[in-house]
Chain A
Amino acid sequence: MTATLAADLGAALSPDRVRVGATELALYKRDASNLEGQAGVVCFPTTTVEVQACVRIAVRHGRPFVARGAGTGLAGGATPLDDAILIVTTKMNRILSVDPVNRLAWVEPGVLNLDLTRAVSVHGLHFAPDPSSQQSCSIGGNVANNSGGPHCLADGVTTAHVLGLEVVLPDGEIVQLGGDEAEPTGYDLRGAFVGSEGMCGIATKVCVRLTQDPPAVRTLLMDFASVEAGALTVSAIIAAGMVPAALEMMDQLCTRAVEQYIHAGLPVDAAAILLVEVAGLPHGVEADVRRIVEIGTAHGAGTVRIAKDEAERALLWKGRKNAFGAIARIKPNYYLHDTVVPRRRLPEVLKQVYEIVERHELLAMNVFHAGDGNLHPLLVFDKREPGVMDRVFAAGEEIVRVSVAAGGVLSGEHGIGLEKRDFMPLMFAPIDLDAQARLRHSFDTTGLANPNKVLPSPASCGDLQHVPEGAWI
């Protein structure tokens, strides 16, 4: 059956862009999450028409299909289930047009996030969402997951930067949702599509909003004797009417790991450090820096280090963005979580996170977007230890539960995918999930677009639920 399918796909694309070899299928059985599935065929279209052909062939064969960008997703959204056709968009990587005056660009979904920023930097512009994976994640994946990043505090996550989309709907129709016009007639289908994790179709072109580079940037590092003092500083900065460009926190364990890795002179004896970036026009930036230092000092900040030049700023950010790489020095494996809590609840939820991991005899490092309450507890472990995965999953579930119980949400920027699908009822009643399922089925009348993700079974109209081995549910 797969042979016929592959032959059909090969005829529509070209045989060398349709892969069924065991090794290649194994490479694509998961994204950057720990959740493994199995693809039946992996194909690499290069145009919208080829994506349309893949989707139509999938429909004709009644085979599910899953879109995949660079595969950096952390929630299993691009993990193929049930021998699905994996439609990989990495070869659709052209920047189609840039309008530097009105600050927008049309790009294909396989363009890498940082490549877009590099391409438009000559115009003094950048693409604001900057996930830690920005060197390797694709714009299509950013759209599917509504991705964030440290600098989304001031500028918002991906949906605020996507104006329009060309989409191949799950029935093979090609539509344009939104566009460079600010308020297209009708429902905001662009908004409904962003973050739909490949379950509403496949984006083949994206119109993004570009953001002006700030004339002045100041990056400062403050250290605190307690995580609570750092968290209270975050709330006080926001309450004082400032929205820094970024407001990131790292706890001691993480700071020590990072320092060993980058040698930036980070204060390794502090319980927590805050990395604050203020951007804008020079007078406003200097005034904000002064007030932030005052607020930090009033909350017991030890030292305040202001990056003196671009090199030092880059070094401080390198520590933040490569924190996850540094962790390999402690244990070989990690599981990164993503929940959001109201800022004011950060101290108590962090305390609970430490208690949970201690009870499960694990180590947790926290490096996260404190400014928007977006926690990223990172559980580090050695999976060769017998029974450790059970403890990792149990601790993870408790962290999700305490975050939601504190008035938070399941995910701030990674999405739901498979990872948190069955936690959706913690946040939504059956009727709420039913409304989401109605939206999904309006887009996907075939039910073949990345089925069995995001929505737990009662809301997916009785679809057979397939959970891969090792899935954390």
Chain B
Amino acid sequence: MDLTAFAAAVGATGQVTISGLGMRGGPVEGVRAVRAPSGIEWVQADEMTMRCGAGAPVADVDSALAEVGQCVALPPSGTVGGALSVGHSDIRRLGYGPVRDVLLQACYVSDSGQVVQAGGPTVKNVSGFDLCRLLVGARGTLGFLGDVILRTRPRPLHSQWYTIDTDDPFPTFTRLYRPASVLWDGSRLWALIEGHPADVAEQAAGCSLTECAAPPALPSGSRRVVAPAAVGSLTGDFVAEVGIGIVHHAEPLPSTNPVESSVTKLARRIKAAFDPSGRLNPGVSVG
């Protein structure tokens, strides 16, 4: 994908921010905004890879992949670039893996307005330092994603949500084989089971689960992360991702996860190495 115009728009001087569809907080206010190219360049079903502009909506990518029976493990809304830059997985993380494992190659525009390639086009690659994983979740503070190659996966043959009332999520969680998602709100559990229809039915029956139409609405007050073992002792109005430790709370909660200071120093050194003048998404902190 030709990123010349995008790189020129980012330029080499002055503060700049990147905007997508505004689903994850939007661009930094009061700063000149640029947009990454959209469009799907190719889908290679037999490689299980696809290439698109970072500005492509996740929904468009999903439609294109559906035509070849595949999907990508990104949360469903907004742009591909936004999903990668924020790096938050959706509720299928248990089965589909974290967002960081999706990005195979990124061409991004650096603080000096140049196009840099990170990673490689194949599903397996350990050539050099893993800049792709550094970029996922970096919120555009190290470079702006221009185009990306993503790892895709087969769409499940069959997919069904189930539920059961329980005040302990772990017995059911332990008995299920690789469910796509297990959610729990303190008194009720929901499980997304995928695969061959007969296997799905047997799994559900083995745990006395009842079919249901959909997972619960996720409380939107806050999304916080706890150790997966701590899920069983949560209180209040919440829906927790069992086996993962991501908790959706009704109330906004203060962060309980302060980062150690040596890690913060390291993060600052990385920011300073990639964007010494702090012009990319100014004010956005990932430390």
Contact = CB atoms under 8 A, between A and B. Distances in A.
B207 interface: no
Contacts of B287: 185-187
A183 B137 contact: yes
A432 B246 contact: no
Contact of B122 (A212, A341, A440, A442): A341
A146 interface: yes
B129 A195 contact: yes
A176 B229 CA distance: 19
Contacts of A431: 110, 114-116
Contacts of B155: 241
Nearest to B263: A175
Interface in B152-185: 153-155, 157, 170, 173-174, 177-178
A252 to B, nearest CB: 25
A413 B126 contact: yes
A442 B266 contact: yes
A468 interface: no
A183 to B, nearest CB: 5
A60 B83 CA distance: 44
Contacts of B131: 192, 435-436, 439
A359 B54 CA distance: 44
B46 A184 contact: no
B218 interface: no
- Majority secondary structure, B binding face: loop
Contact of B177 (A195, A215, A238, A443): A215
A14 to B, nearest CB: 28
Contact of B257 (A160, A184, A435): A184
B124 A427 contact: no
A284 B196 contact: yes
B138 interface: yes
Given A188-B134, A343-B47, A152 B117 contact: no
Interface stretch (B17-25, B33-41, B198-206, B209-217): B198-206
Nearest to A213: B177
A187 B126 contact: no
Contacts of A183: 87-89, 98, 137, 225, 246
A9 B154 CA distance: 53
Q: Which of B122, B142, B174, B287 neighbours the largest number of chain A CB atoms within 10 Å of its CB?
A: B122
A409 B153 contact: no
A407 interface: yes
A340 B119 CA distance: 13
B69 A146 contact: no
Contacts of B198: 283
A169 B265 CA distance: 12
Given A192-B134, A281-B196, A101 B173 contact: yes
Interface of A: 99, 101-104, 145-146, 148, 152, 156-157, 159-160, 169, 173-177, 179-189, 191-192, 194-196, 212, 214-215, 235-236, 238-239, 241-243, 280-284, 287, 340-344, 369, 372-374, 407-416, 420, 424, 427-429, 431-433, 435-436, 438-443, 445, 454-455
30 contacts: A102-B243, A145-B126, A152-B124, A159-B101, A159-B133, A176-B263, A184-B259, A186-B263, A189-B263, A189-B266, A192-B133, A195-B129, A196-B130, A280-B177, A283-B197, A343-B47, A372-B124, A373-B47, A373-B123, A374-B124, A408-B122, A411-B125, A411-B127, A412-B122, A431-B115, A435-B131, A438-B270, A438-B274, A440-B129, A441-B273
